[in-house]
Amino acid sequence: MVDSLSFEYSNTSDSLILSNIVNFQLIIIDPNVNKDIYLMDSSCLICKNKFILARHKYRCKFCWHGVCAKCSKQKTYHPTYECAKRICDECFKAYIYKLSNASIENEVSRSKKVIEELHYYIKNTTETVCRDSKTTGILKEKYEAIDNEIKNIEMRSKLRESADEKTKENSRISKEIGIIEIENNFRRRKTRMAEDRVIWVRKLDDKLGEAIKDRILLSKEARMLESKLKNYNEKRKQIDGMHDTLFKLREHKKSLYRQLAPLNKEAHNESCLECIIQ
């Protein structure tokens, strides 16, 4: 029977190698088999594909038939060669089936033995319990004490659970209180900022009132200046009119002088003649 097996996977050849076999009676090998059977096989024993250059022929070292590489990927321990050799899928399946059946039989036999031992032990214990009533009373007392201890432990566990729940609730409440305090601090900051904003707005209102008063005064002064400018412009217009009249009078005077010039000459000539005559 097979007691222990260890499976090793080789990454290079992608094959399963069964090693460390303590007892290999499950591997049935016919010593009289013809080892040259694979030479007569022109196709794979399992997939029935013909052997060509691209599909190389291999031989199973257990049934000695010709198989392809896909149908003979596994390797297992060979008792005659004492190492891992190529095995076809059919032989490998039969070997695994026998191995699983053998392991199941071992487990069943072991479980039966354990069950028989348990039955024997139960019978002996019942006989001893029936014989010794005192021991049964003591055992009952012990069982009752154990039950009481178990109940106490359960009560303690319940109390611990309730205490844990209370601590969780307290932690949750403390977290909520912390959140509320943070919100209150935030609200206080908001109120302070609002108060500062109100004070700032009031200061701005005062400054605006002063600016409005200054503007009113400036507007009054501007009106006074505008009235003065109007008076000045009117006086200037009057002065300009007087200058125009003076200019006209001068022109008229010049024209009069021009008109009087010949008369003055005649009068001068007449005066000269009078002087000469005298």
Highest mean pLDDT among 33-42, 135-144, 190-199: 190-199
For residue 75, the surrounding DSSP H or E stretch is: strand 75-78
Whether residue 87 is contained in a domain is answered as yes
Convert 130-145 to b/e letters by CB count within 10 Å (16 or more is b): eeeeeeeeeeeeeeee
In terms of C-beta density within 10 A (0-12 exposed, 13-18 middle, 19 or more buried), how is residue 73 classed? Answer: middle
Residue spans of alpha helices (H) in the chain: 37-40, 89-131, 133-277
Count of CA atoms in the C-beta half-sphere (13 A) of 193: 6
Whether residue 96 is contained in a domain is answered as yes
Whether residue 27 is contained in a domain is answered as yes
CATH number at residue 55: 3.30.40.10
pLDDT in the model for residue 163: 80
Helix (H/G/I), strand (E/B), else coil: 78: strand
pLDDT in the model for residue 10: 35
The pLDDT confidence band at residue 130, using thresholds 50, 70 and 90, is low
Q: Which residue has the higher pLDDT, 24 or 136?
A: 136
Sign, CA dihedral 174-176-182-184, equals negative
Highest mean pLDDT among 29-38, 46-55, 90-99, 201-210: 201-210
Question: Which residues have C-beta within 8 Å of that of residue 20, sequence separation ≥ 6?
Answer: 4, 5, 6
Helix (H/G/I), strand (E/B), else coil: 82: coil
Region of residue 82 (phi > 0: left; psi between -120 and 50: alpha; otherwise: beta): left
Task: Report whether 86 contacts 73 (CB < 8 A).
Answer: no
Q: What percent of the chain has pLDDT over 90?
A: 8
Sign, CA dihedral 28-30-33-36, equals positive
pLDDT value at 173 more than 50: yes
The pLDDT confidence band at residue 278, using thresholds 50, 70 and 90, is low
pLDDT in the model for residue 16: 36
pLDDT in the model for residue 180: 92
Whether residue 258 is contained in a domain is answered as no
Whether residue 235 is contained in a domain is answered as no
Specify the range with the lowest mean pLDDT, choosing from 1-5, 53-57, 59-63, 235-239: 1-5
pLDDT value at 11 more than 50: no
Helix (H/G/I), strand (E/B), else coil: 66: strand
Structural domain count, the chain:
1
pLDDT in the model for residue 3: 35
Question: Which residues have C-beta within 8 Å of that of residue 35, sequence separation ≥ 6?
Answer: 64
Expressed as residue numbers, the domain containing 42 is 6-106
Distance from C-alpha of 60 to C-alpha of 66, rounded to nearest angstrom: 7
pLDDT in the model for residue 198: 92
Whether residue 170 is contained in a domain is answered as no
Whether residue 86 is contained in a domain is answered as yes
pLDDT in the model for residue 29: 65
Closest CA to 26 of 107, 86, 106: 106
Whether residue 70 is contained in a domain is answered as yes
